[in-house]
Structure 1
Amino acid sequence: MEGREEMQGAVGLRCTWDIPPPAGTQAKWVRLNVGGTVFLTTRQTLCREQKSFLCRLCQGEELQSDRDETGAYLIDRDPTYFGPILNFLRHGKLVLDKDMAEEGILEEAEFYNIGPLIRIIKDRMEEKDYTVTQVPPKHVYRVLQCQEEELTQMVSTMSDGWRFEQLVNIGSSYNYGNEDQTEFLCVVSKELYNSPNGLSSEPSHKAK
């Protein structure tokens, strides 16, 4: 079943259902035991998306779902993420608590086969990924002190995005064995991009 999607500002995304629920599903209550939490809703709500697992379940199709002692259908899924899915079927709007991961909702929506909700979440995730890629990278600089004989090895072994920027002779020298050793300051840099959760990735320990 297709649904129309529209933006609802900060409160989430809404899907208006084009096709009414099947006849004979009005005002018939259904109990669902999802991961130990009981939800009470109607067949009308569960059949908003007619191809979904929930619609097939309450229509009596053979889906091998047991019932608990109260007659509620037993579903071995996370009840935390089931609440937003059930509310989406009730009023066509996706609203998430700040601690809820969209990936978790997507996984449950795919399990229950709720097509309009799957498309909404994927669109939101793609929009966030696009926004992250538009943020300019941050430049991190490090200053490493080394001896003259260590320069070639240090520069050649730099990896994980670190780049040589500048070499400064600090002018100090000392005798090491029978040879004079000069010390340098080596400036290296790296670009850090924001991750999807808004935090910059940590630089690798290889250039410490």
Structure 2
Amino acid sequence: MSSSFPRSPSPVLLNIGGKKYATTIDTLTQREPDSMIAAMFSGRHTVSRDSETGTIFVDRDGKHFRHILNWLRDGVIPMLKDSEYQELLREAEYYQLLGLVDHINTNLNKKKDEDGSEPELTRTEIIKCIQSERVKFRGVNLSGLNLSKLDLSFVDFSYARIQNTNFSNANLWKARFGDAEAEGSIFQDANLRECELSGANLRGVVLDRANLQSANLQDACLIKCSFCEADLRSAHLQSAKLTDANLKGANLEGANLKGAKLNGTNLQGANLQRAYLRDVDLRDTQLEGARLGGANLLGAIR
């Protein structure tokens, strides 16, 4: 059964991932009226109730929802462990409770970049920005931020300073990182498909299991990067500096590595079928177990 919510002192019964809560419409809508949770119970939308009990089910982890209710009631949350703050942060972001997100972030240790300066934007401000269209962070300092699990597709980070920034599990499809300073950042399990990374400084970056299909990494500094089991099919790696990079088990099928620097590169077990390796120096490259069927090795030095 679906219904809207006129204002009433009657309790609202919630089932959050199997945990039961009772509250009021005022509690859910007044402290953060622009949030998603306020919109759900504002009367502007219809939600599904259990036909017998009148309970509204929300398919989220109910463990920390009591903290969310206490925030909406009183504007406070208790001191928590960092891991619990991170769990609560995910729920606050889902419900778009930006005031709570800010409050949590003030209780977490903020990272600083190598010169000790603070990033110019917070995670919360970035979430606000990506809700609008055509987001650009060109030349902005975002070093040390935790941007994991965010949808950052199409965002322009060209020339930005993003050293030691956490992008793990983020959606960065078609994002632009041209000439960005991203040394030491983490892109583990991120979606970087069709990304523009040409000329970027990615020295020491972790890209394990990342999806880099058709990404443009031409002229990028990839020295000592970790690409273990990354998907680099049809990636553009012309003249990229891959010295001492770890591409063990990576899928480079159809990738273009013309002019790439592969000194000390680990390509053990990598899939290099139909890759373009013409005139590449492979003498110091670890190729044990690599698949080279159909690769263009004309002029390659081995």
TM-score, normalising length: structure 1: 0.45
Query: Structure 2 length normalisation: TM-score?
Result: 0.32
Q: More relative contact order in 1 or in 2 (CA 8 Å, sep 6+)? A: 1
Larger Rg: 1
Higher share of residues assigned strand? 1
